[in-house]
A and B are shown apart, each in its own frame.
Chain A
Amino acid sequence: MSYAMTEEQELIQSNIREFVTEHVAPLADSLDKNGEYPSEAVVKMAEQGLLGLVVPAEFGGLEAGYLSFVASVEELSRASAATAAILVQHTVATGCIGRWGNAEQKGRLLPGLASGETLGSVAVFENGPKLGAGAEALIARQHEHGYLLKGAKIDVGNAGKAGIYVVFATAEPGDGKKLTAFIVSAGQKGIRVGPITKCTGLHGYQTADISFDDVFVSKEDMLGALHGGSSIVGWTLALAAVAEAAETVGIVATAVKHAAAYSKQRVQFGRSISNFPAVQIMLAGVAANCHAARLVALDAAALIDQGKPFEVESAMVKLLALNLGQKSLCEAVQVEGGYGYSEEMALARLYRDVAGTTLRNSPAEFPEKLIAESIA
């Protein structure tokens, strides 16, 4: 195990737990119903310091590390994974710039991201069999002083709300291995954010397709080296997987709590159904798997903080989260029976939210491939 939570990390966790109870939990149900971007909650998160959690102090952040970030994501997700997702998408972009940006980029962009003045987003996926290879792949064509981006990205989170997008384009169409990362300002001419996609869950977290029509990016906005984007996208998706697993864990933790409380007060056959082994097995299985996923996610986050490679561990986290997510909600709803199936009860929203936490940033390859390649 790579970590034990420090006193400070525990204080951050309990502080965010309090914050969530006060400022996020009361909004969760109405957010699900009206699906409007929760700008008030995002402002509060910024005021609390969450948007700059992983940003170095010299750029106005709290430099609290990824373990605290992942723990905070779980706390947020216990109440509203949609709200957590906004922070995750932002922090993945912020972390990406922090890790791969040069001094000029960091100085220029991180303070605004840390304060929440600018919301961040990452645009990775495209329509097509492989990144950089489809008909609509994002191509970067050389231009005076920089590049012109043309193509489209799909399912971009924080779409329309982000001030900057970290995008991955290919300078060699058809070759997904030669990606280059760019930081694109949302106001740049040629960017068109499509209509916000209606999804089954995570209402309030905005995703949309974005098209780029000869969008100019200067050389200064290239993140990392030319053709060096593959390792950056790998790192980015690995970070996203760990954070999203914390979203899954948060949802499942709440689901177990709700189902357990329900089972205690539901009396059938003369006693509370929490006494029946059938129910105990369901709850115990979910609780155990949730606990395991939580620990593995925190462990991967600790590796990031220690500057160690974590992509393989992240793939393991993703695999665990995939197995945890929807299935756990199926079990939790089963415990609550007919009542659990009602939209008036808490589990229905969680049932709809959880898939978004495991599937929204899924690369084409199964996580098993990365894991297998690392052990074989």
Chain B
Amino acid sequence: MPKCLVCYKWTLDEQDIKIEPEDLSLDSSRAKGKISDFDRNAIEEAALLVEKNGGAVDALSYGTASVKQSLKDALSRGPGKAFWIGDASAEAADACVTANVLAAAIRKLGQYDLILCGEGSSDLYNQQTAPRLAALLGFPCLSFVNKLSVDGEVVTATRKLEDCVETVTVKSPVVISVLSEINKPRIPSLKQVLGASKKPNEEVKIADLGLKPEDLHPKAMRKSVKGFVMQRKNVVYKESSAADNIAKLKVSLASEGLC
């Protein structure tokens, strides 16, 4: 009967973000919020574990004031309760700050057997939250997890690494970050969507976490964020016949390892 906590991030939906063609700056004015993609997998994985083994899932999120918009969405996907920290410090928070805040909150919230999050967030994709959290909490960290099971105190995970697949067992408590291939998040039913407003949520005030000012000060400062527009190679093959052009294209593709 594992007690799970999923840490998720409320990000902007990148498909609503427009890139200004002149200076590649981002126009996010029309962007709606969404739960970071891999965090969705983490929430789903926790929900599946609890459906199988019993137990409970809580959700935790650290963001700006907008994080409140995420609560019903998160609660419709399985967690029984959502904790949230809405603070201006989240705007410029780097991986250190994020981990400091989450770790402090987790210490306050109580004992969890599994702490899950996505491998990386859909906006910054630092992939640092889980390892930092684990280090701060003194727990083992399992990253790149694409399969997970629990048996009592023992957690078994399959990790998909660059050149091998590793199966590990660990005793809870443990911090786990999951890959998107671990599951396909189900679309909540309308009943779950409407039921979310009946589930509890609780604000955790950053002032109550006992953090020092330097814990909230980012060590890495983000100076600017620009859009990336893929530049086409614009190579034109002008041989006299289509067959010659195709032959040249084939050579070019092969040299890039594409065929």
A residues adjacent to B (C-beta < 8 A): 7-8, 11-12, 15-16, 18-19, 22-23, 47-50, 53, 62, 64
**Provided the pairs A7-B72, A8-B197 are in contact, do residues A15 and B191 lie with their beta carbons within 8 angstroms?**
no
Q: Which residues of A contact B191 (CB under 8 A)?
A: 49, 62
Is the beta-carbon distance between B187 and A8 smaller than 8 angstroms? Answer: no
B residues adjacent to A (C-beta < 8 A): 72-73, 76, 187-191, 193-194, 196-197
8 of the cross-chain contacts (CB-CB < 8 Å) are: A7-B72, A8-B72, A8-B197, A11-B196, A12-B193, A22-B187, A47-B189, A53-B190
CA distance A62 to B194 in the complex (A): 8
Is the beta-carbon distance between A48 and B194 smaller than 8 angstroms? Answer: no
Q: Which residues of A contact B73 (CB under 8 A)?
A: 11
Closest 4 A/B residue pairs (Cβ): A49-B190, A15-B193, A18-B187, A11-B193
Q: Which residues of A contact B72 (CB under 8 A)?
A: 7-8, 11
Is the beta-carbon distance between B187 and A64 smaller than 8 angstroms? Answer: no
Q: Is the interface of A mostly helix, strand, loop or mixed?
A: helix
Residue of A nearest to B188 (CB): A15
Q: Which residues of B contact A49 (CB under 8 A)?
A: 189-191
Taking the closest CB of chain B, its distance from the CB of A257, in whole angstroms, is 13
Most interface-central of A16, A19, A22, A49 (chain B CB within 10 A): A49
CA distance A50 to B187 in the complex (A): 13
Is the beta-carbon distance between A15 and B196 smaller than 8 angstroms? Answer: no
Taking the closest CB of chain A, its distance from the CB of B21, in whole angstroms, is 13
Taking the closest CB of chain B, its distance from the CB of A186, in whole angstroms, is 26
CA distance A50 to B189 in the complex (A): 9
CA distance A165 to B31 in the complex (A): 44
CA distance A16 to B191 in the complex (A): 12
Residue of B nearest to A49 (CB): B190
Known: A12-B193, A15-B188, A50-B190. 12 other contacts (CB 8 A): A8-B193, A12-B190, A15-B76, A15-B190, A15-B193, A18-B187, A23-B187, A47-B189, A48-B190, A53-B190, A64-B190, A64-B194
CA distance A11 to B76 in the complex (A): 10
Most interface-central of B189, B193, B197 (chain A CB within 10 A): B193
Taking the closest CB of chain B, its distance from the CB of A145, in whole angstroms, is 39
CA distance A48 to B190 in the complex (A): 6
Taking the closest CB of chain B, its distance from the CB of A32, in whole angstroms, is 24
Residue of B nearest to A68 (CB): B190
Taking the closest CB of chain A, its distance from the CB of B105, in whole angstroms, is 24
Taking the closest CB of chain B, its distance from the CB of A370, in whole angstroms, is 33
Is the beta-carbon distance between B187 and A15 smaller than 8 angstroms? Answer: yes
Most interface-central of B73, B187, B189, B196 (chain A CB within 10 A): B187
CA distance A23 to B184 in the complex (A): 14
Most interface-central of B76, B191, B196 (chain A CB within 10 A): B191
CA distance A50 to B206 in the complex (A): 41
Q: Which residues of A contact B76 (CB under 8 A)?
A: 11, 15
CA distance A62 to B193 in the complex (A): 10
Q: Which residues of A contact B190 (CB under 8 A)?
A: 12, 15-16, 48-50, 53, 62, 64
Taking the closest CB of chain A, its distance from the CB of B76, in whole angstroms, is 7
CA distance A18 to B193 in the complex (A): 12
Most interface-central of B76, B190, B193 (chain A CB within 10 A): B190
Taking the closest CB of chain A, its distance from the CB of B164, in whole angstroms, is 33
Q: Which residues of A contact B194 (CB under 8 A)?
A: 8, 12, 62, 64
CA distance A18 to B194 in the complex (A): 15
Taking the closest CB of chain B, its distance from the CB of A56, in whole angstroms, is 13
Q: Which residues of A contact B187 (CB under 8 A)?
A: 15, 18-19, 22-23, 48
Residue of A nearest to B72 (CB): A11
CA distance A11 to B72 in the complex (A): 8
CA distance A11 to B197 in the complex (A): 11
Taking the closest CB of chain A, its distance from the CB of B124, in whole angstroms, is 24
CA distance A42 to B234 in the complex (A): 48
CA distance A53 to B197 in the complex (A): 17
CA distance A16 to B73 in the complex (A): 13
Q: Which residues of B contact A50 (CB under 8 A)?
A: 190
CA distance A50 to B188 in the complex (A): 12
Q: Which residues of B contact A15 (CB under 8 A)?
A: 76, 187-188, 190, 193
Residue of A nearest to B32 (CB): A14
Q: Which residues of B contact A16 (CB under 8 A)?
A: 190
CA distance A22 to B187 in the complex (A): 9
CA distance A8 to B197 in the complex (A): 8
Q: Which residues of B contact A22 (CB under 8 A)?
A: 187
CA distance A11 to B190 in the complex (A): 9
Residue of B nearest to A53 (CB): B190
CA distance A12 to B76 in the complex (A): 11
CA distance A19 to B190 in the complex (A): 10
CA distance A11 to B71 in the complex (A): 11
CA distance A284 to B193 in the complex (A): 35
Most interface-central of A11, A12, A23, A49 (chain B CB within 10 A): A11
**Provided the pairs A11-B72, A11-B73 are in contact, do residues A48 and B189 lie with their beta carbons within 8 angstroms?**
yes
Residue of B nearest to A15 (CB): B193
Q: Which residues of B contact A19 (CB under 8 A)?
A: 187
CA distance A45 to B234 in the complex (A): 47
CA distance A62 to B188 in the complex (A): 14
CA distance A64 to B72 in the complex (A): 16
CA distance A47 to B193 in the complex (A): 13
Residue of B nearest to A50 (CB): B190
Q: Which residues of B contact A18 (CB under 8 A)?
A: 187
CA distance A62 to B76 in the complex (A): 15
CA distance A53 to B191 in the complex (A): 10
Taking the closest CB of chain A, its distance from the CB of B243, in whole angstroms, is 27
Taking the closest CB of chain B, its distance from the CB of A348, in whole angstroms, is 26
Q: Which residues of A contact B193 (CB under 8 A)?
A: 8, 11-12, 15
